Chains A and B, each alone.
Chain A
């Protein structure tokens, strides 16, 4: 197998990952923020394990999608496009120019917010609740980045095929 086809397999794998990660983030986001995350709700984290678990799910799903998009998919996508991946910050600048992310400053701000959403660690509930509410406001932008990178791959014929998808008879047949 050539390096190029290995890279495409890796790219397709990551496209499947971000599809699932995005769906899971959207689900938890809708459930957690059905009402605003106020300081009063943050106070209930200590006594409501289900709420604490939902916050935990939101934080880890938000973080995982951002890391998969920026640290894993982006360098592979740039390579597949024939660009030489550079330092993380340079890749983000290129992603902004290519329209995959809305703004590098926002992207870095989302990353910093993640440190402020860990409820065992952040003692000031005004900060914790504002960090969660701010991350919620960034979810559409994160999902738009996922969409933009997936669309780029699709335009070039590198779309994510699901190896277990029965709508993909060729691959399914090979699996059996």
Chain B
């Protein structure tokens, strides 16, 4: 996994600030590949309660993580009971790494 312990911890804190204290955050995609370099940061927020403003929440979280990575592109997926669950959610869940 190409994230430092500090980065992982900060991402977890940001997730809890933006999406609530019991939010879990999972890293998936190219950042899991130790041989790749740079690249987008793909994250999934797992929330147990319905999310009223999912697009805004994802955008705010992505913005704050992006600053942590000097403006690098961050893509955020949300798993929540009021949102659709698509194949990408299963991939992120199965292959992703819980931070």
Interface residues of A (CB under 8 A from B): 87-89, 104-113, 115-116, 123-124, 126-128, 130-131, 134
Contact = CB atoms under 8 A, between A and B. Distances in A.
Q: Looking at chain A's contact residues, is the secondary structure mostly helix, strand, loop, or mixed?
A: helix
A87 B54 contact: no
Given A87-B71, A89-B70, A105-B67, A124 B59 contact: no
Given A89-B67, A116-B59, 4 more contacts: A105-B64, A107-B63, A131-B55, A134-B56
A109 to B, nearest CB: 4
Interface string B54-88: 11101110111011001100111010001110100
Contacts, number: 67
A128 B84 CA distance: 12
Given A109-B63, A126-B82, A88 B55 contact: no
A113 B59 CA distance: 6
Interface string B35-56: 0000000000000000001111
User: What range describes how many residues of B lie at the interface?
Assistant: 20 to 34
Contacts of A123: 84, 86
Contacts of A112: 58-59, 62-63, 66, 74, 76
Contacts of B86: 123-124
Given A104-B67, A127-B55, A130-B54, A109 B62 contact: yes
Contacts of B62: 108-109, 112
B37 to A, nearest CB: 19
A108 B66 contact: yes
Contacts of B60: 105, 109
